[in-house]
Amino acid sequence: MVTAWLLIAAMPVLACTSCGCSGGGTTLGMQLVTVRNYAGMIWQHTGLTVYEQGEPHSSFASDTWQVYGSLQLPGKWHMQARLPLVWNRVTDHSPEGDQTESLFAAGDLNLIAGYQAMTLRSGRARHTLFVQAGAELPTGKYKADFVQAGLPPGFYPGSASIDPLAGIQYILSDSAWTAMFGASVKYSLPNADHLQEGLFWQAQTVVARSLGASGRWVPFAGLVAEHRNGYRKYDFLNEESAYSVAHGMAGMEYRGDRFSGGARFDHTIWQQYSTEETTNNGAYSVYVNWFF
Amino acid sequence: MALAAVFSALTSCTKDEEPTPTPEAYSVTINIIEPSEGETITSGSTVHLEATFENDNTIHNIGVWMVGEMMNDTLYSYENHVHADQYYEFHEHTMPMVMEAQEYKVIFASWDEDPAERIEKHVHVNIEP
């Protein structure tokens, strides 16, 4: 079984227009690429805090549940689908008390077709290359007046546009070791309100090792880098909503015969937001997969 | 001859009375996001000035000022010819310093060519030492 960890562009921009900053999403959903059919679910928590003069000014927290699945198609093709449910909270901290706005809603349906472009064996090593292309469809909750309401761009999880995306994954696997490098890019089209999310790309590398004779316990670690351009409305570019962030991540996975499950923690090691007082709080996630 | 003169007078009169197109009045919708009306701000702390400007054509000039209601002093001033297509966001930070508590008017405005014909919206904030 070929297994790797693909982080697909799906997370909304986390930004804080009410505090002059913008934030970055963290982990985008660990998506297995495997030669088997599977379905799964992942829960992720991400957060962002904006400080002013050392005190928290506002914060953004997001919990995302995603259900997803992958089917092998004839030839070397596979098809993946993913639907997020998002619980977003943005809080303004003030001496008079905190004010929180929250939203629980569906995000954009993500459909991807993939092709196993290369499989090579070299001694005990196996090299595999996947290419993927697809789109996020406008199924998610969206409101045009989020800026006027003082809400960050990612507060509503939908983009109200068709967003083409593409990615590649290279996997090098040995008997116990697996290394993966992946990259993905999402280009959002303008929606009916002339709002266009910024170009998003992500690159990640993960190394995993199966432990013991059974090889069921698999610790893994890696690096994730992502960047998003600012959004546009008509010809106005909101540069404050652009960000770049890099995470170190580590986790553990258990692989059964028919299921796998794991947990992962992401720690921010570098970030660039519109203000230096914005802090990405990292992320953690738990997931489970069923194979069939 | 007299009839021709009358006819000529009538036609020229009709020509003179043709409505001349008048330029469409400049309009813009201003939505102030921050600060909020009545907000109390401590001197030296960060104030967010954020608003959106929208219309159906071009947003030409925008201006933002923070002016004292009692002393008429100006703590913040910004003017720019943004020439934006239908939409513009303004978002800046400032750290006003005052020696005495005073109410300030925070004005967000936009105009086509003549600043005297600006369209504006404002809120009041209280800045305390």
Q: Parse chain B into domains and list their residue ranges.
A: 28-128
Residues of A in contact with B33 (CB under 8 A): 17-18, 147-148, 150
Residue A97's pLDDT band, with cuts at 50, 70 and 90, is: confident
Give the tokens for residue B60: 């030409």
CATH class for domain B28-128? mainly beta
Q: Which of B31, B85, B91 has its CB closest to that of A17?
A: B91
Burial of A30 (0-12, 13-18, 19+ CB in 10 A): buried
**Nearest C-alpha of chain A: how many angstroms from B42?**
11
**Candidates A22, A50, A148, partner chain B, best to mutate (most B CBs within 10 A):** A148
DSSP character at residue A2? -
Residues of A in contact with B86 (CB under 8 A): 194, 234
Res A7: pLDDT: 39
Residue of A nearest to B32 (CA): A148
Cα separation, A144 vs A159, whole angstroms: 10
A244-256: average pLDDT: 91
Residues of A in contact with B59 (CB under 8 A): none
Is A274 a residue whose pLDDT tops 50? yes
Are residues B53 and B29 in contact, defined by beta-carbon separation less than 8 angstroms? Answer: yes
Res A19: pLDDT: 33
A160-180: average pLDDT: 90
Is A2 a residue whose pLDDT tops 80? no
B27-48: average pLDDT: 92
Res B14: pLDDT: 52
DSSP character at residue B73? -
Contact yes or no for A234 and B87 at CB 8 A: yes
Instruction: Name every residue in A having a CB less than 8 A away from some CB of B.
Output: 17-20, 52-53, 57, 147-148, 150, 194, 233-236, 238, 240
B74: CB partners within 8 A, 6+ apart: B65, B66, B67, B68
pLDDT tens figures, A38-87: 899 989 999 889 888 888 888 999 999 999 998 999 999 999 999 999 99
Q: Parse chain A into domains and list their residue ranges.
A: 5-285
Instruction: Name every residue in B having a CB less than 8 A away from some CB of A.
Output: 31, 33-34, 45-46, 48, 50, 52, 84-89, 91-93
Res A34: pLDDT: 61
A128-152: average pLDDT: 90
B7: CB partners within 8 A, 6+ apart: none
Residues of B in contact with A53 (CB under 8 A): 45-46
DSSP character string of A236-290: EE-GGG-EEEEEEEEEEEEE-SSEEEEEEEEEEEEEE-SSTTEEEEEEEEEEEEE
Give the tokens for residue B1: 């001859």
Q: What is the largest CA-CA distance in chain B?
A: 86
Residue of A nearest to B31 (CA): A148
Contact yes or no for B33 and A18 at CB 8 A: yes
Is B17 a residue whose pLDDT tops 70? no
Contact yes or no for A53 and B88 at CB 8 A: no
Residues of B in contact with A19 (CB under 8 A): 48
Q: Which of A17, A19, A236 has its CB closest to that of B87?
A: A236
For B16, the enclosing helix (H) or strand (E) is helix B2-16
- A93, A12, A26, A10: which is closest to A277 by C-alpha? A93
Residues of B in contact with A18 (CB under 8 A): 33-34, 48, 50
Residue A145's pLDDT band, with cuts at 50, 70 and 90, is: confident
Residues of B in contact with A235 (CB under 8 A): 84-85
Res A213: pLDDT: 84
Cα separation, A92 vs A33, whole angstroms: 40
Rounded to two decimals, the pTM is: 0.83
**Nearest C-alpha of chain B: how many angstroms from A245?**
23
The complex's ipTM works out to 0.75
pLDDT tens figures, A218-245: 999 999 999 999 999 999 999 888 999 9
Res A11: pLDDT: 33
The two counts, helices (H) then strands (E), for chain B are 1, 6
Question: Which tops the pLDDT comparison, A96 or A269?
Answer: A269
pLDDT tens figures, B60-113: 999 999 999 999 999 999 999 999 999 999 999 899 999 999 999 999 999 999
Residue of A nearest to B51 (CA): A148
Give the other-Cβ count within 10 Å of A122's Cβ.
Answer: 8
**Nearest C-alpha of chain B: how many angstroms from A91?**
15
Percent of chain B scoring above 70 in pLDDT: 82
Res A93: pLDDT: 87
Residues of B in contact with A21 (CB under 8 A): none
Q: Where does A5-285 sit in CATH, by number? A: 2.40.128
Res A33: pLDDT: 58
Residue A186's region, left for phi above 0, alpha for psi from -120 to 50, else beta, is beta
